[in-house]
């Protein structure tokens, strides 16, 4: 990824995503100030035609957003801007549900309907992120890019990779600082082994996601996204469980910020197809090739 | 910015993919029609097959040509090894010599040692065992008690090594010995000696495993003389050398493909229209395999750049071994009854599964290595 984009994103999210913004967003308030800063920096156009950036950069930006639990509907905005002319805030609906439908100027559905005229019933996912029910009026058809559903699944995988990276860092920091029995709990073998498992899942998730990113624009996208969403989703469950165990009761409080990341992981692993959905998709393809081609299939997918 | 271990996304180069087709053709041609494939690297032992691989230049692939090597990349070696394992070819005879004994000699051996051993290894004629564990030294390797006493032109070795795979049919063993009395620094005073397994003062006794196999052994040294020209590296430098072997030992595809044939037979058993549950299981396992391959290829890239990815290798092995065990257990629960091929495969895997997370470093040792890499110890 363009180093400049990564650094800019890192700086903006570090400076502008704080506890106040996250709590306000959970109370239903769209993070307008953050959105303005993101637009001023041009980050909302990463991956769009003529921006000099591509789908890989888009995913790398989402990893940074996930690392900071950014409350913007960034995956939707970036994906929409990658195939539509930019016109304010465009969100993407799946199954009639769109992140920040209440604040959007325009809604596109993964089935290819678009409208600027829609009713909104506010709702949230289990992370408290806006997931509004939208009812479109005067919708018209738009040409979608191929495999939009798969690309959106990949966007969730990229967000999860960022959040996974963050909870690993938080768990390591906490275990190194928190003392019990006269020493940091990081010195206990049982804790070390849990953190090693956590690090393994985070590394695996990142590699699975990067595999799908490398397949963008190739015929292997569907297969690698299926593997990525399934594997990252599995990692999210294991990793969040360990991160909480390491943080003890402190991590179960609303005051501690761990839940901003773990609740998002629990929500995102279900969005755009949970693990079993993608496992089944992938499994059908593998089985369809026959037993003696299993290996060829796996290698061919890259 | 990133807290965990970095596995750079790495693509296999085109020449590696060209080689893949050659290996597939070769395997299809060389293995008899009634051959029962087993993707556990420890299981199939065939000096004849190893010699044929040597003729093709597929042993010692990354070594210099003057030592019989092919000067190929680590990516090409990766492709050959994964293709052989996936096909369940018999590779155990040359495996250890190719994977770690040869590279160890290249890194630390003398010109003379390289000349004497490497060309024979690369031809598939000379096989090595690992002389690390002892009856009272397993995971705590620095506590080895096999002694080497200095004599005028060499060393005299006394002690016992154990769990030595194929010592009864391999030619040499690179043996970790204590060459100086123990001191405050427990990693000091260790050396590696290259010993002829058929030589004087060496007794090999088989140990039967729970699956009925006899591929590992106890190796006893009684006043076994080793000349100065068979000391590997510097006397006293054994600990550094042994740990450097582990990057090679732990990251390869043999750490996640041991149970691969179970997946193949499961797919055969359920057919091309699996139930949702069967499809999801196949997909879950496939997703893990695709991911582990990426990680292992990324480590091959680190080796290609001359790196020493000890922590990354430990992580790949740890994830890979857990996956190998999971594969057998999950397929068992959904296996259609009465399928002879699948049943046979499953039995082999379930009986050997305990060794997956022991050999080459236990799960506990690996997690310790990873924890150190995370800065926790």
Q: What is the pLDDT of residue A87?
A: 85
What superfamily would CATH give domain B251-373? Butyryl-CoA Dehydrogenase, subunit A, domain 3 (1.20.140.10)
CATH of domain B14-126: 1.10.540.10
Domain ranges (residues) in chain B: 14-126, 130-236, 251-373
pLDDT at res. B191: 98
Smallest CA-to-CA distance from A125 within A87, A97, A89, A86 is with A97
B positions 280-319 inside 8 Å of A (CB): 280-284, 286-295, 298, 315, 318-319
DSSP state string for chain A: --HHHHHHHHHHHHHH--HHHHHHHHTT---HHHHHHHHHTTGGGTTSTTTT--HHHHHHHHHHHHHTT--S-HHHHHHHHTTS---S-EEEEBTTEETTGGG-SEEEETTSEEESEEEEE--B-TT--B-EEEEEES-EE-PPPTTHHHHHHHHHHHHHHHHHHHHHHHHHHHHHH-EETTEEGGGSHHHHHHHHHHHHHHHHHHHHHHHHHHTTTSTTHHHHHHHHHHHHHHHHHHHHHHHHHHHGGGGGSSSSTHHHHHHHHHHHTTTTS-HHHHHHHHHHHHHHT-GGGHHHHHHHT-
**How many beta-carbon pairs below 8 A join chains A and B?**
177
pLDDT score of B334:
97
Q: What are phi and psi of B222, to 5 degrees?
A: -125, 110
208-247 of B, contacting A, C-beta below 8 A: none
Query: Three-state SS for B45?
Result: coil
With a CB cutoff of 8 Å and minimum separation 6, the contacts of B369 are B310, B311, B314, B361
With an 8 Å Cβ cutoff, are A195 and B376 in contact? yes
C-alpha distance from B372 to closest chain A C-alpha (Å): 9
B130-236: CATH topology is Butyryl-CoA Dehydrogenase, subunit A; domain 2 (2.40.110)
Residues of chain B found within 8 Å of residue A224, distances taken between Cβ atoms: 290
Region label for B190, one of left (φ > 0), alpha (ψ between -120 and 50) or beta (otherwise): beta
Shortest alpha-carbon distance between residue B225 and chain A (Å): 42
Quick one: A148-286 is in which CATH superfamily?
Butyryl-CoA Dehydrogenase, subunit A, domain 3 (1.20.140.10)
Q: B216-227 and A140-141 as β-strands: parallel, antiparallel, unpaired?
A: unpaired
Across the interface, do A227 and B274 touch by the CB < 8 Å criterion? no
Please report residues of B whose CB lies closer than 8 A to that of A208: 287, 290-291, 294
> Tens-of-pLDDT digits for all 377 residues of chain B?
556 789 999 999 999 999 999 999 999 999 999 999 999 999 999 999 999 999 999 999 999 999 999 999 999 999 999 999 999 999 999 999 999 999 999 999 999 999 999 999 999 999 999 999 999 999 999 999 999 999 999 999 999 999 999 999 999 999 999 999 999 999 999 999 999 999 999 999 999 999 999 999 999 999 999 999 999 999 999 999 998 887 788 889 999 999 999 999 999 999 999 999 999 999 999 999 999 999 999 999 999 999 889 899 999 999 999 999 999 999 999 999 999 999 999 999 999 999 999 999 999 999 999 999 999 98
* DSSP state for residue B170 in the 8-state scheme: -
Give A16 to chain B, closest Cα distance, Å.
17
Give B11's contacts in chain A (Cβ within 8 Å): 214, 302
Task: Enumerate the residues of chain B whose CB falls inside 8 A of the CB of residue A292.
Answer: 264, 268
The whole-chain average pLDDT of chain A stands at 97
Give the pLDDT score at A3.
Answer: 83
CATH 1.25.40 fits A3-141, yes or no: no
Q: Is the ipTM of this complex over 0.85?
A: yes
Structure tokens at A239: 């990793």
Q: From the list B280, B318, B364, which residue is nearest A280 (CB)?
A: B280
CA A153 – CA A274 distance, rounded (Å): 9
* B274–A187 C-beta distance less than 8 A: no
| Confidence (pTM) | 0.97
Is B276 in the A-facing interface, judged by CB distances under 8 Å? yes
Residue of B nearest to A64 (CA): B1
Chain A residues lying within 8 Å of B371, measured CB to CB = 192-193, 195-196
Q: Which of A204, A229, A243 to mutate to test the interface with B (most CBs of B within 10 A)?
A: A204
Domain ranges of chain A: 3-141, 148-286
CB contact under 8 A, A298 and B293: yes
pLDDT by residue for chain A (302 residues), tens only, comes to 578 899 999 999 999 999 999 999 999 999 999 999 999 999 999 999 999 999 999 999 999 999 999 999 999 999 999 999 988 999 999 999 999 999 999 999 999 999 999 999 999 999 999 999 999 999 999 999 999 999 999 999 999 999 999 999 999 999 999 999 999 999 999 999 999 999 999 999 999 999 999 999 999 999 999 999 999 999 999 999 999 999 999 999 999 999 999 999 999 999 999 999 999 999 999 999 999 999 999 999 87
Task: Tell me which H or E stretch contains B369.
Answer: helix B363-373
Q: What is the pLDDT of residue B2?
A: 59
pLDDT score at B249: 83
Q: Which residues of chain A are within 8 Å of residue B364 when distances are taken between CB atoms?
A: 193
């Amino acid at each position: 990824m363009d180093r400049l984009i990564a650094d800019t994103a890192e700086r903006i999210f570090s400076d502008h995503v704080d506890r106040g913004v996250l709590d306000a967003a959970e109370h239903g308030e769209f993070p307008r100030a953050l959105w303005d800063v993101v637009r001023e920096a041009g980050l909302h156009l990463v991956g769009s035609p003529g921006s000099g950036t591509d789908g890989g950069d888009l995913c790398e930006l989402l990893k940074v957003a996930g690392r900071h639990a950014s409350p913007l509907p960034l995956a939707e905005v970036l994906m929409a801007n990658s195939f539509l002319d930019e016109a304010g805030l465009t969100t993407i609906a799946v199954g009639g549900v769109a992140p920040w439908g209440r604040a959007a100027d325009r809604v596109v559905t993964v089935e290819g309907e678009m409208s600027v005229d829609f009713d909104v019933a506010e709702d949230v996912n289990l992370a408290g992120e806006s997931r509004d029910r939208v009812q479109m009026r005067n919708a018209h058809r738009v040409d979608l890019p191929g495999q939009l559903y798969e690309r959106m699944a990949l966007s969730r995988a990229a967000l999860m990779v960022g959040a996974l990276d963050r909870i690993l860092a938080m768990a390591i920091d906490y275990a190194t600082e928190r003392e019990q029995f006269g020493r940091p709990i990081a010195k206990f073998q049982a804790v070390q082994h849990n953190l090693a498992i956590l690090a393994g899942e985070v590394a695996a998730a990142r590699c699975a996601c990067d595999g799908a990113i490398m397949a963008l624009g190739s015929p292997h996208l569907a297969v690698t996204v299926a593997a990525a969403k399934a594997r990252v989703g599995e990692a999210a469950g294991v990793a969040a469980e360990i991160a909480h165990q390491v943080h003890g009761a402190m991590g179960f409080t609303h005051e501690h910020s761990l839940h901003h990341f773990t609740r998002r992981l629990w929500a995102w692993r279900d969005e755009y197809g949970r693990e079993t959905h993608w496992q089944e998709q992938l499994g059908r393809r593998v089985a369809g090739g026959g037993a003696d081609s299993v290996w060829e299939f796996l290698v061919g997918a890259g | 910015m990133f807290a965990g271990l970095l596995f750079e996304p790495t693509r296999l180069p085109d020449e590696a993919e060209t080689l893949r087709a050659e290996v597939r053709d070769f395997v299809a041609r060389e293995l008899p029609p009634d051959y029962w494939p087993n993707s556990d690297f420890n299981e199939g032992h065939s000096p004849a097959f190893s010699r044929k691989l040597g003729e093709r230049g597929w042993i010692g692939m990354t070594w210099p040509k003057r030592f019989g090597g092919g000067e190929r990349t680590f990516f090409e070696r990766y492709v050959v090894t994964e293709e052989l394992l996936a096909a369940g070819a018999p590779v155990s005879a040359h495996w250890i010599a190719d994977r770690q004994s040869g590279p160890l000699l290249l890194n630390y051996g003398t010109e003379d040692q390289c000349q004497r051993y490497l060309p024979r290894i690369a031809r598939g004629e000379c096989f090595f065992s690992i002389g690390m564990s002892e009856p009272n030294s397993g995971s705590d390797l620095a506590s080895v008690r096999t002694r080497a006493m200095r004599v005028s032109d060499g060393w005299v070795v006394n002690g016992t090594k154990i769990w030595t795979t194929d010592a009864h049919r391999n030619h040499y063993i690179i043996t970790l010995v204590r060459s100086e009395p123990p001191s405050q620094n427990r990693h000091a005073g260790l050396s590696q000696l290259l010993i002829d397994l058929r030589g004087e003062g060496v007794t090999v006794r088989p140990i039967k495993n729970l699956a009925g196999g006899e591929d590992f052994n106890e190796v006893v040294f009684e006043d076994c003389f080793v000349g100065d020209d068979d000391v590997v590296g510097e006397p006293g430098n054994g600990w550094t050398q042994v740990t450097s072997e582990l990057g090679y030992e732990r990251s390869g595809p043999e750490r996640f493909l041991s149970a691969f044939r179970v997946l193949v037979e499961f797919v055969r058993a359920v057919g091309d229209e699996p139930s949702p549950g069967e499809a999801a299981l196949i997909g879950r396992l496939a997703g893990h395999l695709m991911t582990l391959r990426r990680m292992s290829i990324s480590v091959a890239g680190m080796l290609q750049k001359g790196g020493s990815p000890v922590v990354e290798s430990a992580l790949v092995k740890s994830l890979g071994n857990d996956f190998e065990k999971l594969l057998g257990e999950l397929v068992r629960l959904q296996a259609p009854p009465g399928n002879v091929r699948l049943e046979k495969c499953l039995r082999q895997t379930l009986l050997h599964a305990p060794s997956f997370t022991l050999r080459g470093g236990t799960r506990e040792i690996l997690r310790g290595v990873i924890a150190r890499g995370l800065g926790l110890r």
